[in-house]
Structure 1
Amino acid sequence: MSGPDPIQAPGTDEALWRAWERWTELPEAVLPQGPVVVVAAHPDDEVLGAGGALALLAAAGNPLTVVTVTDGEGSHPRTRVLRPPALAA
């Protein structure tokens, strides 16, 4: 394996996200009222895809349900850091 393991990689620094000049061009999301169900293919997809919306919905008192379709054990088949059972756990 060359380079850092993607599971352990640091990702994009928060300062770079905050410095992006086009935040003000994004439209404000209209969130639903009432119960919300988020279906995610893999563990953590709900956070990556809808984490901000989930936080706003929870703060507004909306009932939330998150359904994860897999346990994640097949997500990184060649990693040497975590074996499939550890990923699933």
Structure 2
Amino acid sequence: MASETDETTRVWLVERTYSDDEQNLIILTYATTDGRQYFRKERALTGDSDVRGTTAAVESESSNLGPVDDPELKEQYATEATRMAEKHDPDDAI
């Protein structure tokens, strides 16, 4: 349960990749619309019956966001996060 002092930030899905190191691991990357911060979420799939939706956006505690230092990656994340925010509601399944 979040305390009243916890701040959250909405971040938008910008990248979905599969781990090279582990089978059945999906890495979801969400970012702010300015591309300055990102949130990474790893999801292990346990079988064919493991169906969990991925939403267009999530709320992340601000302390869980990392900085995006690479200018090209920052621009890429900003472009994709903005596109997602314009085309989707936060709870849309992607």
Instruction: Choose between structure 1 and 2 for higher RCO, CA contacts under 8 A separated by at least 6 residues.
Output: 2
TM-score (norm 1): 0.19
Larger Rg: 1
More strand by share: 2
Q: What TM-score do you get using the length of structure 2 for normalisation?
A: 0.18
